[in-house]
């Protein structure tokens, strides 16, 4: 399927929404040209929204040009609630952005799971050009992956944060949760704006929340944040006690 529009007045706001459903396949869609210009309706803008659903596959979708002109959260793919046994793989997500200052995050893939054992796999996705406009370097920012949940595997993703803007940015952000397995990913942050936080990985969770984190490639002005800024790869490895082969 192809969803989208080149006409700003006709752009879609939420092309695919699935809620309270078991066994779902969202495959091979091309979603281009999504725009929200006011505060009407939902305060979340996503190309694909999945809520309280299980046994789902979101694969090989191309999501491009998702833009909000309002202070709201936005993401290419959004997972919320009691999700279970999901696979998000082989998707290409680019140019997700907000054009006004605000207090909500922008993400390529946004996971906000309330399940204590979601068994989610995020693998082989390519994410680039995710941007936000913050008030300062610590404002709610932009992330390739924004993760809030438990029992999540993150393998073989390539994330390039190559948009320049004021506000914190990271290829991967871990907000809350446990049971994270993070391996063989490429996390790059080439935001060229001086004086802002530009990280490959930003973790608000403790090192014990990562059951495994290894064999990842990190490239950024500062590698990460985990209990404090970790400028170099050796600093990051010391903080995690893992990532020996990264």
Q: Using one digit for the tens of pLDDT, what is the confidence trace for 195-232?
A: 567 899 999 999 999 999 999 999 988 899 999 889 89
The strand pairing partners of 145, in sequence order, are 109, 172
The predicted pLDDT at position 221 comes to 86
Displacement of CA 125 from its chain's centroid (Å): 11
Q: Give the separation between CA 196 and CA 145, rounded to whole angstroms.
A: 19
Task: Give burial (CB, 10 Å; 0-12/13-18/19+) of 192.
Answer: exposed
Q: How confident is the model at residue 39 (pLDDT cuts 50, 70, 90)?
A: low
Q: How confident is the model at residue 4 (pLDDT cuts 50, 70, 90)?
A: low
* Other beta carbons less than 10 A from residue 193's beta carbon: 13
Q: Give the separation between CA 109 and CA 150, rounded to whole angstroms.
A: 16
Whose CA is closest to 98, among 165, 193, 149? 165
Contact 64, 129 (CB under 8 A): no
Q: How confident is the model at residue 81 (pLDDT cuts 50, 70, 90)?
A: very high
Q: Is the pLDDT of residue 167 over 80?
A: no
Radius of gyration in angstroms for the set of CA atoms belonging to the chain, rounded to a whole number: 17
Can you tell me whether residue 237 is helix, strand or coil? helix
Single pTM value for the model: 0.92
Q: Is the pLDDT of residue 20 over 60?
A: yes
How does the average pLDDT of the chain come out, rounded?
Answer: 87
Bigger pLDDT: 185 vs 164: 185
Lowest-pLDDT choice from 19-23, 34-38, 51-55? 34-38
Q: How confident is the model at residue 1 (pLDDT cuts 50, 70, 90)?
A: low
Q: How confident is the model at residue 71 (pLDDT cuts 50, 70, 90)?
A: confident
C-alpha distances in Å from residue 213, one per residue of 14, 17, 28, 157, 167: 34, 32, 30, 13, 26
Contact 44, 16 (CB under 8 A): no
The predicted pLDDT at position 9 comes to 47
The strand pairing partners of 113, in sequence order, are 81
The predicted pLDDT at position 10 comes to 43
Q: To the nearest 10°, report the CA torsion of 241, 243, 244, 246.
A: -150
Q: Is the pLDDT of residue 171 over 80?
A: yes
Q: How confident is the model at residue 172 (pLDDT cuts 50, 70, 90)?
A: very high
Structure tokens at 198: 């530009």
Bigger pLDDT: 164 vs 234: 234
Q: 85-143, pLDDT tens digit by residue?
A: 999 999 999 999 888 777 788 999 999 999 888 999 999 999 999 988 765 555 568 89
Q: Is the pLDDT of residue 155 over 70?
A: yes
């Amino acid at each position: 399927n192809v969803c989208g529009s080149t006409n700003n007045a006709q752009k879609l706001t939420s092309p695919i929404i699935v809620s309270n459903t078991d066994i779902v396949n969202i495959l091979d869609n091309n979603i281009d040209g999504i725009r929200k210009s006011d505060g009407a309706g939902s305060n979340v803008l996503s190309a694909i929204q999945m809520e309280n659903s299980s046994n789902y596959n979101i694969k090989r979708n191309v999501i491009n040009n998702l833009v909000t002109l309002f202070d709201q959260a936005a993401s290419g793919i959004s997972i919320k609630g009691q999700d279970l046994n999901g696979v998000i793989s082989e998707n290409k997500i680019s140019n997700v952005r907000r054009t006004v200052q605000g207090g909500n995050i922008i993400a390529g893939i946004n996971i906000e799971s309330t399940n204590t054992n979601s068994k989610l796999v995020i693998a082989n996705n390519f994410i680039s050009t995710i941007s936000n406009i913050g008030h300062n370097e610590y404002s709610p920012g932009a992330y390739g992956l924004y993760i809030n949940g438990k029992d999540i595997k993150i393998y073989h993703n390539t994330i390039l944060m190559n948009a320049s803007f004021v506000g914190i940015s990271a290829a991967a952000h871990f907000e809350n949760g446990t049971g994270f397995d993070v391996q063989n990913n490429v996390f790059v942050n080439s935001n060229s704006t001086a004086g802002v936080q530009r990280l490959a990985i930003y973790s608000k969770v403790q090192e014990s929340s990562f059951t495994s984190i290894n064999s990842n490639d990190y490239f950024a002005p500062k590698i990460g944040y985990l209990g404090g800024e970790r400028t170099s790869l050796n600093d990051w490895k010391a903080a995690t006690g893992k990532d020996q082969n990264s």
